[in-house]
C-alpha cells in the first residue's frame, strides 16, 4: 500500500513529485496502487511532463548503470543535453549532444532486442516511441513497427496496403496532439504518376490512402532529417520537376510549393538541393558540387507565399555534400564523419562519426507511454 503520508499530500504536490521521477521509476510507481496508476496514465500528465522538459532529467544515486535514465546513463550527469537517434549503415546510436555547444557528449549503440528482426531502418521518433522499418529473418519484405526503448515493448503495424505507388517512397512518423494520435505515413507515386500517401493511425490501428492531383516525374529526395514545418511534412522533388510537396497529416491535405530557383539558369540539373528547416521556417539548401563550393540557402519568410523567399549565398570550396540541417546548422559529410557547418560564421565542426549508407537523424525523448 502506498505511503499514507504521501497520499495525504495535495494532488498537485503528488504530481510535482512524479514529474521529477525518471521514466523507469514511473513505470514502477504505476504498479504500486490504483491512485498512482491513474495519475501517471492520465494523458494530461504525460503532455505536461513533456512540455516541462524534465522527462529524462533525474538519475537516482542507488541505480545500476543499466537502470539509469537514457540521458544520464549516456552522459553520467543530469541532463543539460539533447538525445538524438542517428542511423548510419545498419547501426543506430543514441547520441547525447550538449545543448550549449552542440558537442557530442557520448554515443551508445542502441540495442533493440526485438525477436526475429534481421535489420532495422530508422523512420523517426515522437515522445519516446521509435518507428522502424524492419526486415525479418524469415523474409526480405520490410515491415513497420513502433518500439519503446524504456519499457522494451514493441507494436507491429498492420501491413500497409499493397499499391503501385510504393515505387520510390518516403516514410515519416509524427504525433498529432489535438487528436492525441500517432501517425505513420508512406508517401510516393507510381512511375510518372500522381503523388499519394498511405496513412496509419494508432487510434484505429489501420491504414487509409489519400490521393492527390500532383504529378511528379522523378524521385523524392532522401532527407537525413524530417522537414516538419507549419504542421506539414515536406519533400523535395528533383529535376525536371524541381518542386516541393507538402502533406498536412492533421488536415489530410497535399500542397505543391514552387522552389525559389524555378527557371533560373544558375541552378543546373547536375547540382544538389534539398528542403530544410531554416530558423523555424521552410528552407531550401542548394549545393553546386561541380562549381567552386557555391552554397545557396533560401528561407520562406511567409509560409506558402512564393515572393517571400529570402536568399543567402556564400562560397566554401571545402564544404562537403549537404545532407540536411540541425538547429540552423548545415550537416555535411566526408564519408567518415558528419560535420556541423555554421553559415553565419563559416566554421565547420566535426560532429558524429559516420559509416556507409544513407544516414537518418531525429531527436529522442524517453516516455512512460506503454
Instruction: Please state which of the ranges 56-70, 119-133, 233-247 shows the lowest mean pLDDT.
Output: 56-70
Q: Which residues contact 16 (CB under 8 A, 6 or more apart)?
A: none
Is 265 a member of any domain? no
Cell numbers describing residue 46: 504525460
Is 21 a member of any domain? yes
Q: By residue range, what is the domain housing residue 18?
A: 4-54
Is 26 a member of any domain? yes
Question: Which string of DSSP letters, residue by residue, matches 26-44?
Answer: HHHHTTT-HHHHHHHH-HH
The pTM for the full model equals: 0.75
Neighbours of 136 (CB within 10 A): 15
Neighbours of 281 (CB within 10 A): 18
Is 47 a member of any domain? yes
Is 99 a member of any domain? no
DSSP state of 220: B
Of residues 66 and 340, more confidently modeled: 340
Q: Which residues contact 337 (CB under 8 A, 6 or more apart)?
A: 350, 351, 352, 353, 354
Q: Quick: pLDDT tens for 200-223.
A: 999 999 999 998 988 887 777 767
**Grid-cell match 490521393, residue found:** 211
pLDDT of residue 252: 92
Is 28 a member of any domain? yes
pLDDT-derived band at 36 (thresholds 50, 70, 90) equals confident
Number of domains in the chain: 1
User: Is residue 259 over pLDDT 90?
Assistant: no
Is 92 a member of any domain? no
Q: How far apart are CA 15 and CA 40, in angstroms?
A: 8
Instruction: Please state which of the ranges 10-19, 48-57, 346-355 shows the lowest mean pLDDT.
Output: 48-57
pLDDT-derived band at 78 (thresholds 50, 70, 90) equals very low
Q: How far apart are CA 164 and CA 269, in angstroms?
A: 28
Q: How far apart are CA 42 and CA 45, in angstroms?
A: 5
User: Is residue 97 over pLDDT 70?
Assistant: yes
Is 328 a member of any domain? no
* Average pLDDT of the segment spanning 214-237: 84
Amino acid at each position: 500500500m502506498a505511503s499514507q503520508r504521501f497520499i495525504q499530500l495535495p494532488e498537485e504536490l503528488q504530481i510535482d513529485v512524479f514529474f521529477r521521477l525518471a521514466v523507469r521509476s514511473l513505470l514502477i510507481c504505476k504498479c504500486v496502487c490504483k491512485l498512482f496508476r491513474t495519475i501517471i496514465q492520465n494523458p494530461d500528465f504525460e503532455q505536461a511532463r513533456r512540455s516541462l522538459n524534465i522527462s529524462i532529467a533525474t538519475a537516482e544515486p542507488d541505480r545500476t548503470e543499466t537502470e539509469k535514465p537514457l540521458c544520464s546513463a549516456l552522459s553520467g550527469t543530469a541532463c543539460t543535453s539533447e538525445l538524438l537517434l542517428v542511423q548510419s549503415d545498419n547501426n543506430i546510436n543514441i547520441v547525447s549532444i550538449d545543448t550549449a555547444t552542440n558537442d557530442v557528449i557520448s554515443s551508445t549503440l542502441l540495442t533493440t532486442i526485438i525477436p526475429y528482426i534481421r535489420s532495422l531502418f530508422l523512420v523517426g521518433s515522437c515522445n519516446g516511441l521509435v518507428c522502424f522499418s524492419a526486415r525479418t529473418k524469415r523474409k526480405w519484405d520490410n515491415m513497420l513497427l513502433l518500439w519503446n526503448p524504456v519499457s522494451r515493448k514493441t507494436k507491429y503495424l498492420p501491413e500497409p496496403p499493397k499499391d503501385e505507388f510504393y515505387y520510390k517512397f518516403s516514410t515519416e512518423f509524427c504525433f498529432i496532439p489535438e487528436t492525441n494520435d500517432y501517425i505513420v505515413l508512406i508517401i510516393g507515386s507510381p512511375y510518372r504518376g500522381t503523388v499519394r500517401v498511405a496513412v496509419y493511425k494508432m487510434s484505429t490501428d489501420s491504414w487509409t490512402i489519400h490521393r492527390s492531383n500532383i504529378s511528379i516525374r522523378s524521385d523524392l529526395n532522401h532527407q537525413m532529417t524530417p522537414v516538419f514545418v507549419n504542421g506539414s511534412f515536406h519533400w523535395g522533388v528533383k529535376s525536371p520537376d524541381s518542386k516541393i510537396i507538402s502533406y498536412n497529416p492533421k488536415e489530410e491535405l497535399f500542397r505543391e510549393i514552387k522552389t525559389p530557383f524555378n527557371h533560373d539558369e544558375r541552378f543546373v540539373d547536375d547540382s544538389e538541393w534539398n528542403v530544410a528547416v531554416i530558423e523555424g521556417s521552410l528552407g531550401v539548401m542548394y549545393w553546386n558540387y561541380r562549381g567552386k563550393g557555391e552554397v545557396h540557402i533560401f528561407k520562406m519568410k511567409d509560409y506558402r507565399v512564393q515572393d517571400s523567399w529570402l536568399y543567402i549565398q556564400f562560397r566554401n570550396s571545402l564544404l562537403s555534400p549537404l545532407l540536411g540541417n540541425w538547429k540552423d546548422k548545415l550537416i555535411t559529410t566526408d564519408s567518415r564523419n558528419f560535420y556541423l557547418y555554421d553559415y553565419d560564421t563559416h566554421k565547420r565542426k566535426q560532429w558524429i562519426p559516420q559509416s556507409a549508407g544513407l544516414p537518418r537523424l531525429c531527436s529522442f525523448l524517453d516516455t512512460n507511454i506503454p
